[in-house]
Amino acid sequence: MISRIGDKLQGLAFILVGLVAWEVLCRVANIPVWLLPSPTRIWQETMVLAPVLPRHLLATLIGIVGGFALAVLVALPLAIAIVYSPIMRRIIYPPLLMLQSVPKVALAPLLLIWVGYGMSSNIVIAATTAFFPIIITTASGLQSVDNDLLDLTRSFGSKALKVFWKVRFPWAMPYFFSSLKVAVTFAVIGAVVAEFIGSDRGLGYLILTSSGTMNTAAMFGVLVILSIVGMACFYAVVFAERVLCPWYTPAELA
Amino acid sequence: MRQTVSQIGTHRSRGEYIQPVQDMWSSIVKLNAVTKDYATRSSGAVTALKDISIDIKDGEFVSIVGPSGCGKSTVLKIVGGIIPPTRGKVLFKERPLIKPTSEMGMVFQKAVLLPWRSVLENVLFPIEMLGLRVADYEEKARSLLKLVGLGGFENVYPQELSGGMQQRASICRALVYDPAMLLMDEPFGALDALTREELAIELLRIWDERKKTVVFVTHSITEAVFLSDRVIVMTPRPGRIVLDLPIDLPRPRTVDMEFSQQFKLYSEQVREGIYSSKKETAQ
């Protein structure tokens, strides 16, 4: 425990040293502020944005969480359908692969036309980005149940629904959660892309407008906030996994 | 075959427990000319079992020995009612066996315990699946765990146990609903030699105490002879029975019996059964 705290302090110290070096470099080499602003400059510009930040942060969070939730709601039943029905597998897989091979950025303008400008299109775009890993990984998790275990449930004459709830679903939980970890980072990407393309709110929108005014320092500030948001989302999933799958301890989280 | 069966009845003795005479004679499972074909993608139908007839007596310890792919596990699954035979009849207590019954407890080579359940909850898993009241069986589960030396491990996750301990827990899981038969598919195959011996002795103790019929699939000749009242030798392609050998060694069995002349003789007979059939298939 003590050594783990020590490790974290080491990491923190490294970041601090890096920041100081960055600051010194900017000042000594006199790098123009539109090219590479110093950490103190970034802080100042971010403070200027502070009054409007909560509104944009909230918009992005709604995009991420909404898109993520929508992706789970769609992908989970589809994964179950794929596992239980060969017909569904044949029906679902080809369009799924087609959808996945199209870059979501290219799909976004179309979705914008269909769903309309605003929050709902952000959610849908984030969801299309996030749902693929969930469906694929969860389906393979549901399918990976040990054959002997299935024979065992057969020897009890158990009903399929009971086998699903008591065996298959908990068996697939670790798979489901590792897919969620990938999906939530994808949802962040999707939400920001959606804001780039058609939105008047969100951190993505802030980055875009800051870029328009060559305010590099503000862009950096928003990027830092965005990465904190991404990490928070990731660790929220990790936390949920720890609570819901206490028996399963992944090697160590990245 | 019929003669073989009657020999067992007269010769076997089983600790202090005296079974009623009619029990000794009544058959619990009967396979009658069972054939199993599998459809394969590449070469059409493959006959996994051909004309298998086995009559297992109530309380008997029967081992099925044979090389990989001889259909031993398939026999076990048919006895368990998990898969139906293509042709032939399966009788359980004189009645046709058409679906699984809670009279069978299964143990596999892997313990296949559920990693999200504690050891105790794993032992109680069949109770839930069978739709029985879990509370009624908790005491039983605890005493079974004590019986196999897992007292005190009720609340740990199975993955925290050694392979041998996991297999003990899976035996408890098979016993908790008090089935008449234990179907064991190479249950000690994944364990080291010492644990294997230890568990074999323990299995005999449980068998003696709980009066179960055991069908035990293995590819260890020594293990089969050591444990059984009867050793059935099977050969592959198609799977059939080439030898049905009663083992007339005194009970309770002890490890030093393995060095007796009689034991060696039995082992040789079993080995010959496997070997001769191999020559036959080669021809």
Ordered domains of chain A (ranges, CATH): 44-244 (1.10.3720.10)
Nearest CB to B82: which of A149, A151, A171? Answer: A151
Chain A residues whose beta carbon lies within 8 Å of the beta carbon of residue B102: 156-157
pLDDT in tens, A170-228: 999 999 999 999 999 999 999 999 999 888 899 999 999 999 999 999 999 999 999 99
Fold of B2-103+179-282: Rossmann fold (3.40.50)
- Contact, B149 vs B129, CB < 8 A? no
Query: How far, in Å, CA of A241 to CA of A248, rounded?
Result: 8
Percent of chain A with pLDDT over 70: 96
A79 by Cβ neighbours in 10 Å (0-12 / 13-18 / 19+) ranks as: buried
Query: How far does CA B247 lie from the centroid of its chain?
Result: 16
Any chain B CB within 8 A of the CB of A152?
yes
Tens digit of pLDDT per residue, chain B (283 long)? 333 433 344 444 444 444 444 445 688 899 988 899 888 877 778 888 889 899 999 999 999 998 888 888 899 999 988 888 999 989 888 888 888 888 899 999 999 999 999 999 999 999 999 999 999 999 999 999 998 889 899 999 999 999 999 999 999 999 999 898 999 999 998 888 888 888 899 899 889 888 899 999 998 999 999 999 999 999 888 888 989 999 988 888 888 898 999 999 999 999 998 887 666 555 4
A220 three-state secondary structure: helix
pTM (2 d.p.) = 0.81
Is the pLDDT at A157 greater than 60? The verdict is: yes
Cβ <8 Å between B82 and A162: no
Q: pLDDT for A26-35, tens place per residue?
A: 999 989 989 9
CB A245 within 8 A of CB A174: yes
Q: What is the mean pLDDT of residues A32-55?
A: 93
Instruction: Report the distance separating Cα B8 and Cα B221, nearest Å.
Output: 19
Q: What is the DSSP string of B101-168?
A: -TTEEEE-SS----TTS-HHHHHTHHHHHTT--HHHHHHHHHHHHHHTT-TT-TTS-GGGS-HHHHHH
Q: What is the pLDDT of residue A84?
A: 92
Q: Do B112 and A148 touch (CB under 8 A)?
A: yes
Q: Do B109 and A148 touch (CB under 8 A)?
A: yes
CB spacing of B159 vs A153 below 8 angstroms = no
What interface predicted TM-score (ipTM) does this complex get? Answer: 0.81
Q: Which of A189, A164, A194, A177 is nearest to A237 (CA)?
A: A177
Average pLDDT in the A61-82 region? 95
| Torsion of the alpha carbons at B162, B168, B173 and B179, rounded to the nearest 10 | 160
Q: Does A148 touch chain B (CB under 8 A)?
A: yes
Beta strand ranges found along chain B (DSSP E): 27-40, 44-57, 61-65, 87-92, 95-96, 104-107, 181-185, 213-218, 230-235, 240-246
- What value, to the nearest 5°, has the Cα angle with vertex A46 and ends A41 and A49? 135
pLDDT value of residue B14: 45
Give A83's pLDDT tier (boundaries 50, 70, 90).
Answer: very high
Measured between CA atoms, the residue of chain A closest to residue B174 is A152
**Percentage above 90 pLDDT, chain A:** 71
- Kindly report the nearest CA distance between residue A2 and chain B, in angstroms: 25
Among chain A residues, the shortest Cα distance to B130 is held by: A156
Q: What are the beta bridge partners of residue B64?
A: B217, B232
Taking CB atoms and an 8 Å cutoff, what residues of chain A touch B100?
154-157
Domain boundaries, given as residue ranges, for chain B? 2-103+179-282
